[in-house]
């Protein structure tokens, strides 16, 4: 099998000068892209409401007890500096290219070890759940981080409703792979489609959510619209975007980055400052918008809540 290495860290992975020089242009482009997404996200019966500044607000969003009190990154930071290789490998590629993505109609196939395999319309799937704002830290494997006000609901609530069989030990997620909408699919950076997975006890943890928005608004395409996973104690690539398939299985799924390069990426991918990436240290991180680097915290600061999930495991081996 051809092993495709993740691109080396390059100038575009630190906040690029061009991003600030073209600040006004990027804001205008983002508004146009978001307006297109808002138009696609308003079918009859949808829970989306009025548009404001070209973006679509989400109704009845309540605050969550699980939120951090750290300073938020700006909407511009969060929506213009992204990893979403289906739209390109540079950090500004997703914002520039993701307007092509059509997020309605959208279906999610549920299959595998589940009581009733079925295909769900996304609006039917999310209708029963109350939207919460979860302010979470996001830590990427390239050693940068953000604080993001996600809007979503617990993954555990969805799993209970889908009724997996007792033999299901893992849950696997798959991202849309459509070369017509996603220009990056045409480049074999990874073995498409993008696949991620969790152990069932991880998936059932109350910190794991499915997100449909941020900053009180519909999730922008470049951030994983219309629905994505957010697992705040793991590196960002575990939080798969634009989900089209959920599969329950009794074996650990083969996921995209370990398949591409098992030496550099593991299935668990818990934030761990003591396990360096082979090409850079994980001991510190750069929070976007800050000049000085900060120390990386075990489990991204969520250790009190999740460390028990890994009791007895050698986290240097099961990275």
Structural domains present in the chain = 12-310 (3.90.420.10)
Report the C-alpha dihedral over residues 195, 176, 138, 37, rounded to 10 degrees: 180
Each of the 319 residues of the chain gets a pLDDT tens digit; together they read: 332 333 333 433 433 433 333 443 333 434 433 444 343 344 434 555 444 456 899 999 999 999 999 999 999 999 999 999 999 999 999 999 999 999 999 999 999 999 999 999 999 999 999 999 999 999 999 999 999 999 999 999 999 999 999 999 999 999 999 999 999 999 999 999 999 999 999 999 999 999 999 999 999 999 999 999 999 999 999 999 999 999 999 999 999 999 999 999 999 999 999 999 999 999 999 999 999 999 999 999 999 999 999 999 999 999 9
Q: Chain centroid to CA 1: how far?
A: 27
Res 47: pLDDT: 53
Res 19: pLDDT: 37
Res 51: pLDDT: 44
Residue 238 region, left (φ>0) first, then alpha (ψ -120 to 50), else beta? Answer: alpha
Instruction: Check: CB of residue 73 under 8 Å from CB of residue 289.
Output: yes
For residue 111, give every residue at least 6 positions away whose Cβ sits within 8 Å of its Cβ, in sequence order, or none: 117, 245, 246, 247, 248
Say whether the peptide bond before residue 11 is cis (omega within 30 degrees of 0).
Answer: no
CA–CA dist 290, 200 (Å, integer): 36
CA distances from 26 to 2, 36, 79 (A): 36, 15, 10
Q: Do the strands 209-214 and 228-230 form a parallel or antiparallel pair, or are they unpaired? A: antiparallel
Res 134: pLDDT: 98
Instruction: Check: CB of residue 207 under 8 Å from CB of residue 231.
Output: yes
For residue 60, give every residue at least 6 positions away whose Cβ sits within 8 Å of its Cβ, in sequence order, or none: 130, 131
Which DSSP string corresponds to 279-306?
TB--SEEEETT-SS-EE--GGGGTHHHH
Structure tokens at 108: 């999610």
CA–CA dist 246, 264 (Å, integer): 25
The model's pTM: 0.85
Res 117: pLDDT: 98
């Amino acid at each position: 099998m051809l092993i495709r290495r993740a691109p080396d860290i390059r100038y575009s992975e630190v906040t690029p000068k061009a991003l600030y020089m073209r600040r006004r242009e990027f804001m205008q482009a983002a508004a146009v892209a978001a307006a297109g997404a808002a138009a696609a996200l308003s079918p009859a019966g949808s829970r989306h409401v009025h548009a404001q500044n070209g973006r679509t607000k989400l109704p009845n969003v309540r605050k969550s007890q699980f939120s951090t009190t750290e300073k938020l990154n700006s909407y511009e930071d969060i929506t213009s500096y992204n990893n979403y290789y289906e739209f390109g490998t540079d950090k500004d590629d997703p914002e520039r290219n993701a307007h092509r993505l059509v997020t309605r109609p959208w279906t999610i196939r549920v299959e595998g070890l589940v009581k009733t395999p079925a295909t769900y319309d996304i609006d039917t799937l999310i209708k029963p759940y109350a939207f919460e704002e979860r302010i979470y830290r996001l830590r990427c494997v390239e050693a940068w981080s953000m604080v993001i006000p996600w809007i979503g609901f617990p993954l555990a609530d969805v799993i209970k409703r889908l009724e997996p069989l007792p033999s299901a030990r893992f849950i696997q997620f798959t991202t849309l792979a459509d070369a017509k909408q996603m220009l990056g699919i045409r480049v074999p950076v990874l073995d498409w489609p993008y696949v991620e997975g969790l152990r069932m006890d991880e998936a059932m943890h109350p910190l794991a959510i499915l997100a449909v928005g941020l900053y009180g608004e519909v999730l922008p395409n470049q951030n994983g619209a219309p629905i994505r996973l957010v697992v705040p104690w793991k590196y960002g690539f575990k939080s798969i975007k634009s989900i089209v398939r959920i599969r329950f299985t009794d074996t650990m799924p083969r996921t995209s980055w370990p398949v591409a390069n098992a030496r550099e990426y593991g299935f668990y991918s818990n934030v761990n400052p003591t396990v360096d990436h082979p090409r850079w240290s994980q001991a510190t991180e750069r929070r976007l918008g800050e000049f000085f680097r900060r120390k990386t915290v075990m489990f991204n600061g969520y250790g009190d809540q999740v460390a028990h999930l890994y009791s007895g495991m050698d986290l240097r081996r099961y990275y």
